[in-house]
Amino acid sequence: MTLTQNQSTATEISPRELYARLLSAQPFFILDVRNEEEFKRMPIEGHATLRTLNLPYFDFIEDEEAALARMPKDVTEVVVVCAKGGASQYVAEVLNNHGYRAVSLSEGMIGWGNYYDVRDVVSKEWGRIVQIARPARGDLSFAIISGEQAVLIDPLRHINVYRELIDHAGAKLTLILDTHVHADHISGGPALAKETGAPYYIHPYDAIHPIDMLPAVIAYEPLRDGQVFQIGQVRITTIWYPGHTLGQVNFLAETPDGGRYLFTGDGIFLRSFGRPDLGGKGEAWTPILYRSMFEWLPRHLTDDTVILPAHFSSLEEDAGNGIFAAPFAQVRAQNDSLRPRSLEEFTTFVLSHLPVFPPEYVEIKRVNIGLVEPCEGKASELELGKNICALAG
Amino acid sequence: MPHFDQTLDVKGAKCPMPLVKSRKAIAELPVGQVLQVISTDRGSVADFQGWAKTAKNVELIAQETVQENGQELYVHYLRRTA
Ligand SMILES: [Fe+2]
């Protein structure tokens, strides 16, 4: 095959279509043509039905026949992915010339990493709760819209997604809440506050970098335990939940129809919970997390309280329709890590399930309280890969 | 800067073109000679390493990053070994 500048292009699949396929749990095959190192750092993950093979594009350029011979024999339909969408286009064409039906992921992993999925968790007379996910990273954020007011909880870095959502709903952003100062991704909170004038709240304990011991230089309002906010007909109560960070809070939203929605941040996840070591003091913070989890939070939990965490670790946590939320009774039944334990057992469990500590997490916390201001390139480099905020499974 | 016999300028070319063109240039190079490839594609650094590892007749001798008019150039030196 000769490659010229005005070649016909192989069919593309958009990040949105890719995500729909990943959620559907239908079996399909991804050929990742990046180099091995990049592939290992951030593969596309899906349900157990997803098969992925890494065959770098340069293997196709070096020896096309040899590379084709390494394709699985039972596959005809292929989604090809690379870093930016160029090499996958090249390989998809090679495959199409050899009897495969191959499509290339447009904009590659960069496009996938920056793709946001927006969908309603609930939509009622009093208003809506909207989940805004960044699926490649397993990051979840939320909007509550009621009357003409909107609050954002844990907004992510690409703030236009939120501005469009709220504009489209004919509402005004009146409140920005972060459950904690994040370590794995850059918050959109401070930038949204600057652009819209809405107040940005974090707990003051998180406004000190836990390793540098330097105070925040961004503008923020201090959250306190028990603080109540009213957004239209929805009442939001702040519940201090130290452990993952010292200033971690949960927000309990109560709706006029008796609904209870608990935004847990990096507290409880659907299948795990937030690790207590990202402040560099895992042994000291583990007993604090224990008290939050087993003594303080249960007072606010009912079986039908819907748990809405800030992360998922696997698409298997999808409760249906791409919503990563479930009533507490179901979470308790599915999440073995929440099982009652003595403090000693809990400590042993936590310390033996800590995943790697990504070194960039220290820097991301600096960014989130304004100690460092990265350019766009640096910011997306810091956010490469999926979050590692949960205990290892 | 290592010794080289020919230069291939792929500035501005996006992945996979730097590698496609280098593969072609190596095929036209006498055995034993060295090709200098000048690219603006940052991804080419890791990809040329990966390619040279599995390629039949390519040895990656050196790679360097140089500044030119405020932009980064990624320069690769490849020897045809067979
Ligand atoms: Fe996190």
Q: Which residues contact B41 (CB under 8 A, 6 or more apart)?
A: B10, B13, B14, B15, B18, B74
Give Cα A29 to chain centroid, integer Å: 24
Query: Do A184 and A302 fall within a single domain?
Result: yes
Query: Do A95 and A180 fall within a single domain?
Result: no
Nearest by Cα to A87 from B59, B33, B47, B15? B15
Query: Do A107 and A211 fall within a single domain?
Result: no
Query: Do A154 and A275 fall within a single domain?
Result: yes
Contact by Cβ (8 Å): A185, A339: no
Query: Do A193 and A274 fall within a single domain?
Result: yes
Looking at the complex, report in whole angstroms how far the Cα of residue A174 sits from the nearest Cα belonging to chain B.
42
Neighbouring-strand partners of residue A127: A124
Candidate list A13, A22, A33, A82, residue with the active-site label: A82
Contact by Cβ (8 Å): A206, A181: yes
- A389 domain residue, yes or no: no
- Among chain A residues, the shortest Cα distance to B47 is held by A35
Contact by Cβ (8 Å): A50, A99: no
For range A207-232, the mean pLDDT: 96
Tokens (6 digits) for A34:
């990046």
Among A112, A146, A175, the domain boundary falls at A112
A56: nearest CB among B17, B50, B56? B50
- A5 domain residue, yes or no: no
Among A78, A95, A112, the domain boundary falls at A112
Query: What is the domain-level CATH number for residue A37?
Result: 3.40.250.10
Query: Do A72 and A194 fall within a single domain?
Result: no
Which residues in chain B touch residue A84, judged by CB atoms under 8 angstroms apart?
A: 14-15, 43
d(CA A132, CA A159): 11
Among A112, A142, A167, the domain boundary falls at A112
Query: Do A369 and A255 fall within a single domain?
Result: yes
Neighbouring-strand partners of residue A221: A201
- A392 domain residue, yes or no: no
- Domains of chain B plus CATH, in order, are 6-80 (3.30.110.40)
Which residues in chain A touch residue B47, judged by CB atoms under 8 angstroms apart?
A: 35, 56-58
B19: nearest CB among A37, A58, A63? A58
User: pLDDT, tens digit, for every residue of A49-66?
Assistant: 999 999 999 999 999 999
Instruction: Give the pLDDT confidence score for residue A25 in this predicted structure.
Output: 87
Q: Indicate whether A4 pLDDT > 50.
A: no
Backbone angles phi, psi at A289, to 5 degrees: -60, -40
Q: What is the enclosing helix (H) or strand (E) of B80?
A: strand B71-80
Contact status of B66 with chain A (Cβ, < 8 Å): no
Q: What percent of chain B has pLDDT over 70?
A: 100
Looking at the complex, report in whole angstroms how far the Cα of residue B41 sits from the nearest Cα belonging to chain A.
11
Query: Do A134 and A174 fall within a single domain?
Result: yes
- A390 domain residue, yes or no: no
What total number of domains does chain A contain? Answer: 2
Q: What is the enclosing helix (H) or strand (E) of B25?
A: helix B17-27
Query: What is the domain-level CATH number for residue A185?
Result: 3.60.15.10
> Active-site residue B16, yes or no?
no
For range A93-105, the mean pLDDT: 96
Instruction: Give the global pTM.
Output: 0.93
Contact by Cβ (8 Å): A67, A55: yes
Which value does ipTM take for this structure?
A: 0.95
- A391 domain residue, yes or no: no
Q: What percent of chain A has pLDDT over 90?
A: 93
- A303 domain residue, yes or no: yes
Contact status of A110 with chain B (Cβ, < 8 Å): no
Which residues in chain B touch residue A38, judged by CB atoms under 8 angstroms apart?
A: 46
Query: Do A167 and A234 fall within a single domain?
Result: yes
Helix axes A160-168, A189-196, angle to 10 degrees: 50
Q: Which residues contact B50 (CB under 8 A, 6 or more apart)?
A: A35, A36, A37, A56, A58
Query: Do A138 and A89 fall within a single domain?
Result: no
Which residues in chain A touch residue B43, judged by CB atoms under 8 angstroms apart?
A: 83-84
Query: Do A126 and A57 fall within a single domain?
Result: no
- Among chain A residues, the shortest Cα distance to B54 is held by A59
Contact status of A86 with chain B (Cβ, < 8 Å): yes
Query: Do A15 and A141 fall within a single domain?
Result: no
- A3 domain residue, yes or no: no
> Containing domain of residue A71, as a range?
11-112
Instruction: Give the pLDDT confidence score for residue A384 in this predicted structure.
Output: 85
Confidence band, pLDDT 50/70/90 cuts, at residue A2? very low
User: pLDDT, tens digit, for every residue of A329-386?
Assistant: 999 999 999 999 999 999 999 999 999 999 999 999 999 999 999 999 899 889 988 8
